[in-house]
């Protein structure tokens, strides 16, 4: 067994429904790295592994919502696998998008009321319930709170999404 | 040694990018410059270094420009209200749905790839393989021309009666005592078969309660 084998295990394991992979600290501890330059060592092993994985149509990604590193199929392979969970349901995609923007502008957590305000459509609560059922949001109706689960960070390339919005607005 | 000089080709590429950026046709943020620098690095040698230094300078200017554009773009991204502003324009659901296109990712998970399984696999692979089996031809047996199977030299009944003659003077006795003197297991088994036949024929009798054989 070598570093790459351990890394493959740590990055491809499903911890629970909305958590996949491992944090940088978990990976470095598993590899027993105690050097001063741990962060550099980490970048090197991640880069080395990604060189191998690239050939298999896989890539290493970072989930900004829970700071977990994980392995994902590359965009080309993902397209072949048709990964869009909202296929044929743009309404849910739009509600998730509104929740996402609302959370993003409120430091991670928002209210049902605020999502309703920016969505400006009826049936937002039903949509949020459906999104909760799909594992995308945490919903606390009593406290009127809505937040994103880490699953969003695994299934959506947030960086690319925000870039697309920014480019759209720029035009 | 093969002399590769791609400076002219790269210069043309850089000029083409500059023209397109200046005309507003493309943004530098959409262009991948890494390939230009990789090409320069991989083919650099003492014969083309003069031409390459000029090409490198042009490529670097392009990169600096890209950094400037990125800085402006990042400051734009930092303005979170812009995203809310987008939603305030009442975009259609399908428009938002299209934004998600190309942004979906499919995580790769292998739950069976546990450390325990990996260790088990390593141990199995690391085990020294046994020598492969070698098949040797067996020695041919000499067979008699007329018979495929050899017949015993004495007939069964004769042997059984010989056994009877041998033990009848010892009866009555315990069943186990019949085999006391015999240590060869094959002979014990042979005698047991004879005994069964003698019991069947009624020449010897057996009392189960006392485990005694008698005439």
What are the tens digits of pLDDT across the range A102-123? 888 887 789 999 999 888 888 8
* Minimum-distance CB partner of A93 among B87, B100, B109: B100
* pLDDT higher at B131 or B198: B198
Assess whether the previous peptide bond of B172 is cis (omega < 30° from 0). yes
Q: Which residues on A lie below 8 Å from B114 (Cβ)?
A: 9, 13
State what percent of residues in chain B have pLDDT above 90. 1
Question: Is the confidence at residue B163, as pLDDT, over 80?
Answer: yes
Question: Is the confidence at residue B8, as pLDDT, over 70?
Answer: yes
Cα distances (Å, whole numbers) of residue A30 to A121, A167, B22: 48, 41, 51
How crowded is the C-beta side of A51, counted as CA atoms within 13 Å? 6
**SS3 (DSSP) at B145:** coil
**Closest-approach residue (CA) in chain A for B118:** A1
Class of the CATH-defined domain A90-170: mainly alpha
For chain A, which residues make up each domain, given as ranges? 3-78, 90-170
CA diameter of chain A: 56
Distance from CA of B64 to the nearest CA of A (A): 21
**SS3 (DSSP) at B146:** coil
Q: Do B84 and A105 touch (CB under 8 A)?
A: yes
Over residues B176-204, mean pLDDT: 86
Q: Which residues on B lie below 8 Å from A93 (Cβ)?
A: 93, 96-97, 100
Topology of domain A3-78 in CATH is Arc Repressor Mutant, subunit A (1.10.10)
Q: Which residues on B lie below 8 Å from A155 (Cβ)?
A: 104-107
Phi and psi at A156, nearest 5°, equal -120, 135
Q: Which residues on B lie below 8 Å from A22 (Cβ)?
A: none
Q: In the structure encoding, which two tokens stand for residue A60, read together?
A: 């290493």
- What is the C-alpha separation between A144 and A106, in angstroms, rounded? 14
Helix (H), strand (E) at residue A15: strand A14-16
Q: Which residues on B lie below 8 Å from A79 (Cβ)?
A: 102
Distance from CA of A90 to the nearest CA of B (A): 5
Question: Is the confidence at residue A69, as pLDDT, over 90?
Answer: yes
Q: Do A161 and B119 touch (CB under 8 A)?
A: no
**SS3 (DSSP) at B207:** strand
**Closest-approach residue (CA) in chain A for B119:** A1
**Could you give the residue ranges of the DSSP H alpha helices within B78-170?**
81-88, 93-100, 115-126, 156-167
pTM score, two decimals?
0.57
Q: Do A161 and B93 touch (CB under 8 A)?
A: no
- What is the C-alpha separation between B74 and B70, in angstroms, rounded? 6
Q: Do B107 and A93 touch (CB under 8 A)?
A: no
* Minimum-distance CB partner of B104 among A1, A155, A170: A155
> Among residues 98-157 of chain A, which lie with CB inside 8 Å of chain B?
98, 101, 104-105, 118-120, 154-157
Listing DSSP states for A106-153 in one string gives: TTTEEEHHHHHHHH--TTHHHHHHHHHHTTSEEEETTTTEEEE-HHHH
Distance from CA of A8 to the nearest CA of B (A): 8
Distance from CA of B126 to the nearest CA of A (A): 10
Q: Do B99 and A164 touch (CB under 8 A)?
A: yes
- What is the C-alpha separation between A148 and A146, in angstroms, rounded? 7
Q: Which residues on B lie below 8 Å from A97 (Cβ)?
A: 87, 96, 99-100
For chain B, which residues make up each domain, given as ranges? 7-79, 156-214
**Closest-approach residue (CA) in chain B for A117:** B88
pLDDT-derived band at A60 (thresholds 50, 70, 90) equals: very high
What are the tens digits of pLDDT across the range B23-56? 777 888 878 888 888 888 888 888 888 888 888 8
- Number of Cβ atoms within 10 Å of the Cβ of A124: 22
Question: Is the confidence at residue A63, as pLDDT, over 60?
Answer: yes
User: What ipTM, to 2 d.p.?
Assistant: 0.85
Specify the pLDDT at position B3: 65
Question: Is the confidence at residue B125, as pLDDT, over 80?
Answer: no
């Amino acid at each position: 067994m070598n570093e790459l084998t351990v890394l493959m295990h740590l990055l491809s394991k499903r911890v629970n429904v909305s958590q996949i992979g491992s944090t940088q600290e978990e990976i470095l501890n598993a590899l027993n790295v105690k050097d001063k330059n741990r962060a550099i060592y980490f970048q090197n092993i991640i880069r080395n592994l990604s060189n191998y994985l690239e050939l298999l149509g896989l890539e290493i990604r970072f989930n900004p919502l829970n700071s977990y590193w994980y392995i994902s199929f590359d965009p080309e392979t993902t397209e072949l696998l048709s990964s869009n969970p909202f296929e044929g349901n743009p309404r849910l995609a739009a509600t998730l998008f509104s929740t996402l923007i609302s959370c993003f502008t409120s430091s991670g957590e928002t209210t049902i009321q605020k999502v309703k305000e920016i969505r400006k459509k009826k049936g937002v609560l039903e949509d949020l319930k459906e999104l909760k059922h799909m594992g995308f949001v945490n919903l606390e109706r009593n406290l009127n709170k809505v937040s994103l689960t880490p699953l969003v960070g695994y299934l959506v390339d947030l960086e690319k999404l925000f870039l697309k919005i920014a480019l759209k607005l720029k035009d | 040694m093969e002399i590769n000089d791609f400076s002219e080709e790269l210069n043309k590429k850089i000029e083409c990018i500059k023209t397109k950026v200046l005309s507003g046709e493309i943004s530098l943020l959409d262009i991948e410059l890494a390939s230009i620098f990789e090409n320069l690095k991989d083919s650099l040698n003492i014969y083309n270094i003069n031409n390459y230094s000029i090409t490198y300078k042009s490529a670097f200017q392009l990169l600096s420009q890209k950094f400037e554009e990125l800085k402006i773009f990042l400051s734009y991204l930092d303005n979170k209200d812009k995203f809310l502003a987008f939603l305030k324009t009442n975009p259609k659901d399908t428009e938002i749905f299209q934004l998600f296109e190309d942004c979906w990712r499919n995580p790769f998970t292998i739950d069976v790839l546990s450390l325990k399984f990996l260790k088990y696999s390593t141990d199995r692979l690391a085990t020294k393989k046994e020598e492969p089996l070698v098949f040797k031809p067996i020695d041919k047996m000499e067979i008699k021309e007329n018979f495929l199977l050899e017949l015993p030299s004495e007939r069964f009944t004769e042997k059984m009666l010989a056994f009877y003659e041998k033990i009848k003077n010892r009866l009555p006795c315990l069943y186990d005592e019949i085999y006391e003197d015999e240590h060869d297991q094959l002979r014990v088994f042979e005698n047991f078969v004879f005994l069964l036949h003698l019991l069947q024929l009624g020449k010897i009798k057996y009392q189960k309660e006392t485990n005694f054989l008698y005439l």
